[in-house]
């Protein structure tokens, strides 16, 4: 995998994990690659993968099973969507609001464009 320099690697690993979950490559309730396995596969240092897994764990997407590794939770997909939605609000929308402020664009103008686009 090629990592872009624009986003922290661990975030890109999270995105990668989301991709695996959304496509079903990682199945709900099943074991996912260990920290080392994934770090080898992606050729990154283990700590980066660990950070990503910590995030996934906090979001309720994966759960560690003692002595057995990490497993996907049964409702992982929901959590993923939830997390992606949250990320949208936290980053994409935040950046949008900043741009809007800079360019002095009101929310009504945005709604107007949105409706125009829907047609």
Partner 1 sequence: MIELNNLTYAYRRGFVAIDDVTASVSPGIHLLLGENGAGKTTLLRLMAGLLFPSSGECLIDGAPVSSREPSVMKTVFMLPDTTELPTKTIRGFAEIHSRFYPTFSQENFEENLREFNLDGNENYNQLSLGLRHKTLLAYVVALGVDLLLLDEPANGLDITSKKALRHILARCTGPEQTVIISTHTVSDLRELYDGVLVLSKGKLLLARPTWEISERISCVASPIPPFDHIFMEQGAGLFHSIIENETGEPTDLNYALLYSALMSKSRDRLLEIINSKPSRNQELE
Q: Return the residue of 34, 57, 73, 82 that touches partner 1, per CB under 8 A.
A: 34
Mention every residue, 6+ apart, whose C-beta is less than 8 A from residue 79.
59, 60, 61, 73
Closer residue to partner 1, CB minimum distance, 35 or 83: 35
Closer residue to partner 1, CB minimum distance, 78 or 97: 97
Choices 5-13, 16-24, 72-80, 90-98 (CB under 8 A): range interacting with partner 1: 5-13
Choices 6-14, 20-28, 87-95, 104-112 (CB under 8 A): range interacting with partner 1: 6-14
Q: Per rule CB under 8 A, is residue 17 in the interface with partner 1?
A: no
Angle between helix axes 9-22 and 76-87 (nearest 10 degrees) is: 140
Closer residue to partner 1, CB minimum distance, 65 or 85: 65
Q: What are the strands, taking DSSP E only, across the chain?
A: 62-65, 69-72
Distance CA 16, CA 11 (A): 9
């Amino acid at each position: 995998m090629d990592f872009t320099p624009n986003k922290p690697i661990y975030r890109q690993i999270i995105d990668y994990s989301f991709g695996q979950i959304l496509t079903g490559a990682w199945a709900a309730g099943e074991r996912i690659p260990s920290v080392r396995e994934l770090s080898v596969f992606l050729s990154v240092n283990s700590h980066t993968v660990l950070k990503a897994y910590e995030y996934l764990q906090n979001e309720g997407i994966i759960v560690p099973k003692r002595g057995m590794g990490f497993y996907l939770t049964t409702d992982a997909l929901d959590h993923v969507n939830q997390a992606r939605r949250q990320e949208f609000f936290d980053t994409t929308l935040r950046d949008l609001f900043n741009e809007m402020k800079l360019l002095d664009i009101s929310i009504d103008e945005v709604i107007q464009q949105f409706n125009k686009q829907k047609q």
